[in-house]
Structure 1
Amino acid sequence: MTNISSSDWTYRTPKHRLFLWLGWFALVALFVWCWRIMSQDTIWAFVWDAPAQALDIGSRMTPPEWGYLPELMKPLWDTLNIATLGTIGGVLIAIPVAFLAARNTTPSATILRPIALFIIVTSRSINSLIWALLLVAIIGPGLLAGIIAIALRSIGFVGKLLYEAIEETDPRQIEAITATGAAPTQVLTYGIVPQIMPALWSISVFRWDINIRESAILGLVGAGGLGLKMNASLAILAWDQVLVILILILATVVVSEWVSAQVRKAII
């Protein structure tokens, strides 16, 4: 029996170690190249002065202007409406898109499924702020632009997670219902929908929670909500008002996160 000493065994062969070092060298070289591109137009004097500027703005923010808080209640209500209505609209559109994208429910894997996947990818590729910027230019500023922007952004998020949930349904339940002679619509209603309803509710509430955060800044491009007040306060350098808006946004997000967690816990 041959004894193999620890010096004879290596985790990687010399060839593998060479490729590993070459890979690390290429990664470092890529990082250096990217850093040079990103920093070539940087004015470093501003960067070194940033801590002092941050302290100066922080001193101007305190104490917060609490008397400004009543003026934020309507914009806060608008923000909640943008998030809620946009989420509902996005979910209603995402449901049929998800069924068309799922392999086990699409009526056409060669035509309709690629179209549905393209819709999902397009929605996920464009940020809600960009959607709002485009919509404000098309339909004008206001809450409608914000609602549609949130809905368009939500379609991809909800559609992707939902069609994956549809594809992961238990095929045995579907086969059992099909074996009874049920029509395709009955198979869909009694075999697939009950399995995905918890996922649908959980995804929808989770997306609503995200949309609360996103809708709070859409006003920066004219889509209504707290972002409008934020933009106005920044324009006049009213930093004490900006702090009140930031605190209100933080409190709203915390409450929405708690509500979202409670709803998901009740559903799941």
Structure 2
Amino acid sequence: MPVLQGEQGPVWRHRTTKAQWLGWLGWLLAAMVFVACWQIMTVDTKWFFVEDAPKQAADLFSRAWPPKWSYVNTLWGALWDTINIATLGTLIGVIMAVPVAFLAARNTTPSHLVLRPFALFVIVASRSINSLIWALLLVAILGPGILAGIIAIALRSIGFVGKLLYEAIEEIDESQVEAVQATGASRAQVIDYGIVPQILPAFAGISVFRWDINIRESTILGLVGAGGIGLQLQSSLNVLAWSQVTVIFVLILATVIFSEWVSSTVRKNII
């Protein structure tokens, strides 16, 4: 904090005059960038439709309310499919992510030149492609249905679980591993008794957290034909049955809240 000499003695300031001018210059540049980006984004905007948006939104909400609660009886099967997609996809993804994580971790990979880069590539590739895109590709290959949704969730989960898990492996206490190695244990025994007990809480927390995320993602996979409640949502949107759409939104919200409660409860008891 600079001290400037004034007529009445030292004057404390948070920044020097030069730093203040640089700060204002930074804000000016940020404002100019914002204005330029705004002009680029809105160059094709039809402002007539923007002005009419409140009226259209009010009309849509008037048709969506009250919800058609009798429609909920036809959604239980689709909701169960959604939960199965998330659960089975998470399970498959976790099983596939475990060996990838051990190959990616510096302290457990058997090859730093070949296997570790390959494992890191798998993690990055999985995390780079959204589950909706995976589902779109798999529906084109396997056909519509929940199988495409399950595999899409699994492929997306590998990168998430693998990254967090291999970071947890690299952060273990190496003294415990050295103690197990000192007994003459094999490599598999070292992993089983020296590494796995240390990462088990993190592994459980990561898996449950990913399942919670997959519940959210699986609700929209039906929009591309991958099954679940998203398929019912797409059907209702196609016929402009807004009162049915409201029921689906409420059911999705309730499911997500329930999965969030399950996730937080399990992680609180494990970690």
- TM-score using structure 2 length: 0.92
Alignment-derived partner of residue 197 in structure 1: 200
Q: Does 1:56 align with 2:71?
A: no
Amino acid at match of 1:96: P
| Aligned mate of 2:96, from 90, 93, 97 | 93
Alignment-derived partner of residue 254 in structure 1: 257
Q: Superposed, which structure 2 residues align to 1:165-244 within 5 Å?
A: 165-244=168-247
1:23 CA drift (Å): 2.8
Q: Superposed, which structure 2 residues align to 1:57-206 within 5 Å?
A: 57-206=60-209
Alignment-derived partner of residue 6 in structure 1: 10
Structure 2: stretches of 5+ with no match in the other structure:
none
Which shifted more, 120-129 or 214-223? 120-129
Amino acid at match of 1:180: T
Instruction: State the secondary structure of the residue aligned to 1:85.
Output: helix
Alignment-derived partner of residue 21 in structure 1: 24
Identity of aligned residues (%): 68
1:133 CA drift (Å): 1.1
Coordinate RMSD, CA, aligned: 1.7
**2: distance between equivalents of 1:210 and 1:162?**
16
Alignment-derived partner of residue 35 in structure 1: 38
Amino acid at match of 1:77: W
1:258 CA drift (Å): 1.2
Q: State the aligned residue count.
A: 265
**2: distance between equivalents of 1:109 and 1:22?**
47
Offset from partner CA, 1:150-182 (integer Å, 9 cap, x none): 111111111111111111111111111122222
Amino acid at match of 2:75: L
Sort the Cα spacing of 1:25 and 1:113 in 2 relative to 1 into closer, same or farther, 3 A: farther
- TM-score using structure 1 length: 0.93
Amino acid at match of 1:6: P
**1: distance between equivalents of 2:72 and 2:104?**
46
Amino acid at match of 1:116: A
1:31 CA drift (Å): 1.6
**1: distance between equivalents of 2:23 and 2:206?**
41
Instruction: State the secondary structure of the residue aligned to 2:10.
Output: coil
Offset from partner CA, 1:72-108 (integer Å, 9 cap, x none): 0111111011000100011011111111111111112
1:26 CA drift (Å): 2.6
Amino acid at match of 2:259: S
Offset from partner CA, 1:200-259 (integer Å, 9 cap, x none): 111111110111111011000111000110000000100110011111111111111111
Which shifted more, 36-45 or 23-32? 23-32
**2: distance between equivalents of 1:86 and 1:27?**
43
